[in-house]
Structure 1
Amino acid sequence: MSKIRTDGIIFDMDGTIWDNIPVFAGSWTRAAKEMGYDVVFTPKMLMGLFGKTMTDIADASIPDSDPAKRYKTLELCEEYEMADLAVSDMDTTYPGLEDVLEDLSKRTKLYIVSNCQAGYIETYLERTGHGKYFTDFICYGDNGLGKADNIKGLVAKNNIQHPVYLGDIQGDKDACDKAGVDFIWAAYGYGDSIDSYVAKIDDISELKEIIE
């Protein structure tokens, strides 16, 4: 496979940088029960939901015709997951991640765009100390915009001429298509298949080998 030339790698979060599902399954189930729903958020269920915007997740998983209550429930899920993550000592980043970030940050700029809630990316950076590797980041919770718009906005803001996005699900690829950005599939993440990609990696460590 030929090397990928880029002046900016944009990372997804869940299923690409780390996997918090072992922590969050209990958080979300507890929040749903508190709101009166008999919903058990299994790891498999969360794998199919993560990557969507929070409103889309609520619409897909909370059995209530009242959107306000669905979204309130997801807000509580977010609150509980952040609280549980704060007290967890589990390293949920994919093995070898920091070595990859350290290596690539010496060669190109690194960024994050996610559909997560506000504060989630900051929690990752503070929890891991990886903030020194990233130039900029943005998420759905910061401005209410979906991934495609945030990718385009970050690319324009940072004047990235040859961006590439690393994500794990078809929704990430669809956003890249809309944003006009090449897509690398993190096949070790949550997605079972992707319709097309410029490269595929089965381990985060392989990213170092395909970037020029």
Structure 2
Amino acid sequence: MALVMFDYDGVIVDSLDVFTLRFSQACREHGFEQIKAPKDVISLFEGNVYETMRKCGLDEEIIDAILKRYEALQGVQLGNLQLFEGIPEALEQISKKHDIYVITSNLSSATIQVLKQNGISSFRDVIGAEKEKSKIRKILSVMSLHPGTPAYYVGDTKGDMIEGKKAGTLTIGVAWGWHTPEKIKEGLPDHLVGTPRELAEFLMYV
């Protein structure tokens, strides 16, 4: 048995359009004008999104206000979000062998709502940005609950690979998310998979 932690946006749910629209709106309403198009959002995730925002000059109070506004804005569209094809089946298969968690830069409540409306109940917990903004600290917290267990982090961005490695996990990049496989490779993933089925098959042998 292993510990498998998943990113949410771009791995489980196809949310780039909604995230770009609503997150950029929340940013603009709080004076952060740099996020306007999908490429701007994607660039935030070359590292930790919130660390990148701090480097752009935003303080913690403004970032929290953006998060709160984003939560309200995205809420009306959660029912329209679609899971990636093959993900429900892959998660069900993986959960039969491993303990699985969601570690996300999104908000826990929104993530849980989308998972529930799609019949996904296999995660032991969902840990979002309102609990802790650093994925490294969130991953380490979950790993502390499973001492001695091999740990994997599954993500779709260069930043996911960097943070997973810094936390001490093996990293698995997925090719169907926000970053291209070429960009993900810049984060030096331990493994790169092309489909949810390939992900499930790989994790059946660890």
When normalised by structure 1's length, the TM-score is 0.78
Q: CA RMSD in A?
A: 2.8
Rounded to whole Å, the distance in 1 between the matches of 2:148 and 2:113 is: 25
Percent identity over the alignment is 22
The one-character-per-residue Cα deviations of 1:127-151 (angstroms, maximum 9, x if unpaired) are 3221x21122323321x35111111
1:141 is matched with which residue?
Answer: 130
Match of 1:22 in 2: 17
Q: Does 1:188 align with 2:176?
A: yes
1:29 and 1:198 map into 2 onto residues whose CA distance is 32
In structure 1, runs of 5+ residues without a counterpart are: 1-5
174, 178, 193: which one aligns with 2:166: 178
Number of aligned residues = 200
Matched, 1:156 2:144: yes
Q: CA deviation at 1:46?
A: 1.6
TM-score (normalizing by structure 2) = 0.80
| Superposition map of 1:1-212 within 5 A | 6-35=1-30, 41-50=36-45, 55-56=50-51, 58-59=53-54, 67=59, 70-71=62-63, 74-86=66-78, 88-91=79-82, 93-130=83-120, 132-142=121-131, 144-159=132-147, 161-191=149-179, 192-194=183-185, 195-211=187-203, 212=205
Cα distance in structure 1, aligned partners of 2:58 and 2:188 = 37
Offset of residue 36 of structure 1: 5.9
Query: SS of the residue aligned with 2:154?
Result: strand
Tell me the alpha carbon deviations over residues 137-194 of structure 1, each in whole angstroms, 9 at most, x when there is no partner: 323321x351111111101113461111111222212222222111111122222232
Q: Which runs of 5+ in 2 are unaligned?
A: none
In structure 2, the CA distance between the partners of 1:39 and 1:203, relative to structure 1 (3 Å rule), is same
1:6-51 CA-partner distances (Å, limit 9, x unpaired): 5221111112111212223222344345446656621222222248
Is the contact made by 1:51 and 1:115 (CA closer than 8 Å) also made in structure 2?
no
**Larger radius of gyration between Structure 1 and Structure 2:** 1
Distance 1:13-1:159 versus aligned 2 partners, 3 A rule: same
Amino acid at match of 2:128: C
How far is 1:201 from its partner? 0.6
Indicate how the Cα distance of structure 1 residues 171 and 33 shifts in structure 2: closer, same or farther if over 3 A, else same. closer
Name the CA distance, whole Å, in 2 between partners of 1:101 and 1:178. Answer: 25
Amino acid at match of 1:141: E
Q: CA deviation at 1:74?
A: 1.6
